[in-house]
Structure 1
Amino acid sequence: MEVWNYANLWESVAAAIPERPALIHGERVVKWRDFDRRANALAQHFLDAGLTQQSKVAAYLFNAPEYIETYFAAFKGGLAPFNTNYRYGGDELTYLFDNADAEAVVFHAAFAEMADKVRANLPKVKTWVAVAEPGHPVPAWAADYDAIVAKGADRVEGPWGRSTDDLLLMYTGGTTGMPKGVMWRQEDLFKGLGGGANLLLGLPPLERVAEAGERAKAVEASGEQPITIPVAPLMHATGQFIGFGQLVSGGAIATLPSRKFSPVELFDEVERLAVSGLIIVGPAFAAPMLETLDANPGRWTMPSLKRIISSGAMWGAENKQGLLKHLPNIMLMDSLGSSEALGLASSVSGGGAAAGTAKFTTGPNAAVFTEEGERVLPGSGVRGLVAVGGFTPSGYYKDPEKSAKTFRTFEGKRWSVPGDWATIEEDGSITLLGRGSQVINTGGEKVFPEEVEEALKRFPGVRDAAVLGVPDPRFGERICAIVETVGDTKPSLTELAAHVKGLLADYKAPRELVLAPVNRAPNGKLDYKTLKALAVDRLGATA
């Protein structure tokens, strides 16, 4: 029986192509052999510190080789790694580490002050491991990451071994409430991500763990190696999960040295490293990428770039079309999914033609159901919840109530239902409406913010938009648009409302307008709670 565990898969690749790059960060290159040995040494440190089977390991890190090494080490030791939002304050960090039962925390030393504030509240943590940075040495109360991994070590495994049931926790949902940990069995995660299949190379899912190394060896023999840059933070599912898949294929993961996203740096690295793939989250990355290409015609040709993958936020058709004008030979892959649900649906643009916004082809295990559990028929016009079956998470860590709400049984089968509403068209494709938790109820009409946001972004000069409901004494809520513009553009509420009415039903047009930067989280998602506070503050008594 094959033990589908990322430690086993990546060890297979490391044995097959030890001298090939695995992790790249600026001028720094970590070969597969060293990636393996460094992770072994870190895994041994965790075990020596007293961690036991499925003890939780926090990655409190920026995008860097250490992030993936930490996960590799945890997988090797039969431990359960989890992500940490590095923007959290003290109370949020305390809640996260306590909720996750963290016993080890690996952190960049730039976070040492914050970590020191919370560590007295976290008696379960047995080891704090710091990655030194310029100007940020390892604090006296933490172990030195570089000193640990520099020793290297041969294969490390806990006395309990490794299992397909070993967990990875993906914490999500911090912008709409306290974060919750999605529990992924490694086999479910691996197979939910395609089981090692590579669409670009035309390769089917793996049948044996050892086959990962065999394929990597074949790719090496071809003289090429796919290199992917997760532009999105590795602390979120989009960058992390897709990046894991690239490593299974024997590719390399390159991370950008700068802490703030720079399209110029990104495009320079794509050309320098001959990068073949990028991982982004919709407009937070795609909009500045297009603006930079528009402002610098012909500066980058990027012939190696084959695909840009996005997930986690709607990616507008106009932006896709603009990117394809500069890069006509790439594929733009827009995936509908979440930390709780993989393979809901996808949209692919290429050959110079962009797919429409929010139009997706459902995955093989996906369907649309009403709240009562009735399957929505194609072309019926009925709104329903997108659900995916097959390989799904076990639930939320220590939260059976929330688990029951998301992981539901329809037609005698278990489905993950993360809350995305959609209609299903006659051809079987779906039109995504948005997340139900953000729906605006105005005079009894339900309005999904995402579809209005996409309409607003089609107005000339609008760079980004957020739509939310503010209190209204007559209608309960009225629609407010927060709009970020380019240059001196200052559209009026009348102009924007008329534009939306030309695309959507009249009741979906905004009745309030705030012109302000639309700040997004590092994962590209809108923080509706903060944006609503901004709107109420700007609108004053009218809200």
Structure 2
Amino acid sequence: MSEWTIGAVVDAIAEVVPDRVMTICGERSSTFGDTAERTRRLANFLAAGGFGVHRERDELQQWECGQDRVALIMHNDLYPDAVIGCLKARVVPVNVNYHYTPREVAELLAYVKPRAVMYHRSLGAKFADVLPCESAELLVSIDDGSDAPMLAGAITLDDALVAGEVDQPIATSPDDLLMICTGGTTGRPKGVMWRQGDIYVSSMNGADHDAVGEIHQKVAHAGPPWFAVSPLMHAAGLWTAFSAVLCGQTTVLSETKLGFDPRTVLRTAQRHRVGLMTMVGDAYAAPLVEELGRRTYDLSALFAIGTGGAATNPKHQAALLEYLPQITIINGYGSSETGNMGFGRSQRGDQKDTFELRAGGLVLSEDYTRFLHPGDDEIGWVARGGRIPLGYFNDRDATAKTFPTVAGQRVVISGDRASIEPDGTLRLFGRDSLVVNTGGEKVFVEEVEEVLRAYPGVLDALVVGRDSERWGQEVVALVALRPDCALTRELLHAHCCEHLARFKAPKDVVFVDAVRRLGNGKADYRWAKLEAARA
């Protein structure tokens, strides 16, 4: 079997359907032919500047990178082209979360040490005080309609593409890397290094193709467009978009510069007759449910909504299935380290709470010595073997800990706790770092959050542990209510006791105006722990 690079797959698709629209973002539409040409020129421009590989993969340790890195501080528009162009140049595209503060971005860039930064002009203005970073020799500015001035010394993307008209000799390899910086919800971000030959197969609907004809046949007929609602700077959004693109599908990208607006999302899905739409958990699902209750949309072409990257409450899933009875809700499970590794499919009247594992999906015993089998009565660690990342950039110790060899097989351990059901599906309990040890009992906070969010009048909730003289730690809930709702701590405690063991029920409930979430929709547990400690 033959491994493929992502750029080569895009070029193969462009050979047979060059005029098919590849991406739509606001007013910009790009065909596969457009993107193949644009990314060729970007790669030539970078290669002419000496960017590329300085040490090949077989000369390096798992945590080492021998390629130049390019930081992408970008909204969704042209994000796929930036990634593909970098990969064609044999440089490593690195996502940067533009919701970070300038200080946090400066710290991330100091860690990644990019040789170049590509940025949308409005984001350049936001981070002007920390750009260019010390390692960057090149700034590429992308027009996003902002009136902000270009950063000093920057070149426009259009000028870079003109300069890249002359072809450079670039022989790419499936060993070339794509780096995904983790969200850092419980610590500082780390750069997860994926061989593109592996991430294509594990998370982007790819395969090892014997010949280009297999790709041509695969993309001959396209279905309705897919809609990536979430930012591509996060792994979940990137995987969604590239899973569609690399199968020859038209992909609608949310205009992230404008922020998330449920009405705009649903109008976009209606206008483009979207078949599949993906989002990130409750931060997206709750506003979409509210908007569907206010107005009517023609979403008859929609057959599925995918959600991942953060939990989606069953009450929101049920509401979506009531408003859109023809759809399947696909709950995806994975992480920057594991890739897309599991799916749970729910339909009206048949909601699933476990995940079907993809190839390589495993559960490791609590003592790290063996792999669990279906029906084993143990809560272990989610793991994956096979096509997994090489390791964490420049971090030997973290790589050894997270990517160990168990029973002769190299695996990645996600940090999530789970069990294997008798039918072989995965039952997820939550991140071990978020387990509260109270009175000798372990409480998985996501289980309690799900119960709280299901209560009428609760808008959102997070659960954390707080130091306690009596219990060691006690369970504390931070709850945001709907404007017209008045609930008491006693009511919510009683509700939890009805559905959970009594030791899991919050010892205290702190009412807040809003539950803080990060830009990717994930919970901000650091904020939650500070709020609980103050209460």
Deviation at 1:519, TM superposition (A): 2.2
Matched, 1:174 2:177: no
Q: Aligned pair in 2 of structure 1 residues 174, 349: CA closer, same or farther (>3 Å)?
A: same
Alignment of 1:300-449 (within 5 A): 300-350=297-347, 352-357=348-353, 359-372=354-367, 373-449=369-445
SS of the residue corresponding to residue 419 of structure 1 reads strand
Matched, 1:124 2:135: yes
Segments of 5+ residues of structure 2 without an aligned counterpart are 54-66
Q: Please give the alpha-carbon distance, in whole angstroms, between the structure 2 residues aligned to 1:315 and 1:254.
A: 22
Q: Aligned pair in 2 of structure 1 residues 192, 100: CA closer, same or farther (>3 Å)?
A: same
Alignment of 1:252-271 (within 5 A): 252-257=250-255, 259-271=258-270
Kindly indicate whether the alpha-carbon contact (under 8 Å) linking 1:58 and 1:83 is maintained by their aligned counterparts in 2.
yes
Alignment of 1:15-54 (within 5 A): 15-53=15-53, 54=67
Q: Which residue of 2 aligns with 1:244?
A: 242
Partner of residue 157 from structure 2, selected from 142, 145, 159: 145
Deviation at 1:379, TM superposition (A): 3.4
Q: Aligned pair in 2 of structure 1 residues 85, 334: CA closer, same or farther (>3 Å)?
A: same
Q: Please give the alpha-carbon distance, in whole angstroms, between the structure 1 residues aligned to 2:350 and 2:79.
A: 34
Q: Please give the alpha-carbon distance, in whole angstroms, between the structure 2 residues aligned to 1:195 and 1:231.
A: 19
Q: Aligned pair in 2 of structure 1 residues 196, 376: CA closer, same or farther (>3 Å)?
A: closer
Segments of 5+ residues of structure 1 without an aligned counterpart are 198-204
TM-score under structure 2 normalisation? 0.92
Deviation at 1:123, TM superposition (A): 3.0
SS of the residue corresponding to residue 418 of structure 1 reads strand
Matched, 1:459 2:455: yes
Q: Which residue of 2 aligns with 1:202?
A: none
Letter in 1 for 2:44: Q
Deviation at 1:377, TM superposition (A): 4.2
Q: Aligned pair in 2 of structure 1 residues 305, 407: CA closer, same or farther (>3 Å)?
A: same
Letter in 1 for 2:419: T
Q: Which consecutive segments of 4 or more residues in structure 1 shift more than 6 A?
A: none
SS of the residue corresponding to residue 414 of structure 2 reads coil
Q: Please give the alpha-carbon distance, in whole angstroms, between the structure 2 residues aligned to 1:27 and 1:86.
A: 22
Q: Please give the alpha-carbon distance, in whole angstroms, between the structure 2 residues aligned to 1:316 and 1:248.
A: 30
Kindly indicate whether the alpha-carbon contact (under 8 Å) linking 1:38 and 1:153 is maintained by their aligned counterparts in 2.
no
Matched, 1:57 2:70: yes
Deviation at 1:67, TM superposition (A): 1.0
Letter in 1 for 2:426: I
Kindly indicate whether the alpha-carbon contact (under 8 Å) linking 2:71 and 2:117 is maintained by their aligned counterparts in 1.
yes
Alignment of 1:468-487 (within 5 A): 468-487=464-483
Q: Aligned pair in 2 of structure 1 residues 207, 502: CA closer, same or farther (>3 Å)?
A: farther
Q: Deviations over 1:59-115 (max 9, x none)?
A: 101121x21111111011111111001022233222222222201110111122344
Q: Please give the alpha-carbon distance, in whole angstroms, between the structure 2 residues aligned to 1:145 and 1:5.
A: 23
Q: Please give the alpha-carbon distance, in whole angstroms, between the structure 2 residues aligned to 1:184 and 1:503.
A: 41
Partner of residue 164 from structure 1, selected from 158, 174, 178: 174
SS of the residue corresponding to residue 198 of structure 2 reads helix
Kindly indicate whether the alpha-carbon contact (under 8 Å) linking 1:344 and 1:386 is maintained by their aligned counterparts in 2.
no
Deviation at 1:182, TM superposition (A): 0.6
Q: Which residue of 2 aligns with 1:200?
A: none
Letter in 1 for 2:190: K
SS of the residue corresponding to residue 470 of structure 1 reads strand
Q: Deviations over 1:332-358 (max 9, x none)?
A: 1111111111343220012x234244x
Q: Please give the alpha-carbon distance, in whole angstroms, between the structure 2 residues aligned to 1:331 and 1:436.
A: 30
Report the count of equivalent residues. 518
Q: Deviations over 1:182-232 (max 9, x none)?
A: 1100111111126537xxxxxxx744344323432x21xxxx543222111
Q: Deviations over 1:154-208 (max 9, x none)?
A: 7x5554x1001000000004222221011100111111126537xxxxxxx7443
Q: Which residue of 1 aligns with 2:523?
A: 526
Matched, 1:227 2:225: yes
Q: Please give the alpha-carbon distance, in whole angstroms, between the structure 1 residues aligned to 2:361 and 2:152.
A: 51
Q: Please give the alpha-carbon distance, in whole angstroms, between the structure 1 residues aligned to 2:5 and 2:168.
A: 12
Q: Please give the alpha-carbon distance, in whole angstroms, between the structure 1 residues aligned to 2:274 and 2:205.
A: 23
Kindly indicate whether the alpha-carbon contact (under 8 Å) linking 2:227 and 2:278 is maintained by their aligned counterparts in 1.
yes
Partner of residue 212 from structure 1, selected from 203, 215, 218: 215
Identical-residue share of aligned pairs (%): 34
Q: Please give the alpha-carbon distance, in whole angstroms, between the structure 1 residues aligned to 2:37 and 2:341.
A: 37
Letter in 2 for 1:174: G
Q: Please give the alpha-carbon distance, in whole angstroms, between the structure 2 residues aligned to 1:480 and 1:48.
A: 57
RMSD: 2.0
Q: Aligned pair in 2 of structure 1 residues 482, 209: CA closer, same or farther (>3 Å)?
A: farther
SS of the residue corresponding to residue 162 of structure 1 reads coil
Q: Aligned pair in 2 of structure 1 residues 176, 187: CA closer, same or farther (>3 Å)?
A: same
After TM superposition, the structure 1 stretch with the greater mean CA deviation from structure 2, 444-453 or 91-100, is 91-100
Q: Deviations over 1:12-46 (max 9, x none)?
A: 11121111111211222112221122222222222
Q: Which residue of 2 aligns with 1:113?
A: 125
Q: Please give the alpha-carbon distance, in whole angstroms, between the structure 1 residues aligned to 2:523 and 2:160.
A: 38
After TM superposition, the structure 1 stretch with the greater mean CA deviation from structure 2, 95-104 or 283-292, is 95-104
Q: Please give the alpha-carbon distance, in whole angstroms, between the structure 1 residues aligned to 2:7 and 2:25.
A: 22
Partner of residue 77 from structure 1, selected from 84, 89, 106: 89
Q: Which residue of 1 aligns with 2:485?
A: 489
SS of the residue corresponding to residue 502 of structure 1 reads helix
After TM superposition, the structure 1 stretch with the greater mean CA deviation from structure 2, 110-119 or 273-282, is 110-119
Deviation at 1:273, TM superposition (A): 1.0
SS of the residue corresponding to residue 440 of structure 1 reads strand
Q: Aligned pair in 2 of structure 1 residues 206, 483: CA closer, same or farther (>3 Å)?
A: farther
Deviation at 1:476, TM superposition (A): 1.7
Matched, 1:98 2:110: yes
Q: Aligned pair in 2 of structure 1 residues 334, 93: CA closer, same or farther (>3 Å)?
A: same
TM-score under structure 1 normalisation? 0.91
Alignment of 1:258-297 (within 5 A): 259-296=258-295
Matched, 1:185 2:180: no
Matched, 1:500 2:496: yes
Q: Please give the alpha-carbon distance, in whole angstroms, between the structure 1 residues aligned to 2:363 and 2:274.
A: 37
Q: Please give the alpha-carbon distance, in whole angstroms, between the structure 2 residues aligned to 1:194 and 1:69.
A: 16
Q: Please give the alpha-carbon distance, in whole angstroms, between the structure 2 residues aligned to 1:295 and 1:309.
A: 22
SS of the residue corresponding to residue 59 of structure 1 reads strand
Q: Aligned pair in 2 of structure 1 residues 157, 231: CA closer, same or farther (>3 Å)?
A: farther
Q: Please give the alpha-carbon distance, in whole angstroms, between the structure 2 residues aligned to 1:531 and 1:40.
A: 46
Q: Please give the alpha-carbon distance, in whole angstroms, between the structure 2 residues aligned to 1:7 and 1:324.
A: 37
Q: Please give the alpha-carbon distance, in whole angstroms, between the structure 1 residues aligned to 2:212 and 2:181.
A: 27
Q: Deviations over 1:292-324 (max 9, x none)?
A: 11222xx11212212111222222222111111
Q: Deviations over 1:135-170 (max 9, x none)?
A: 22423321112333367747x5554x1001000000
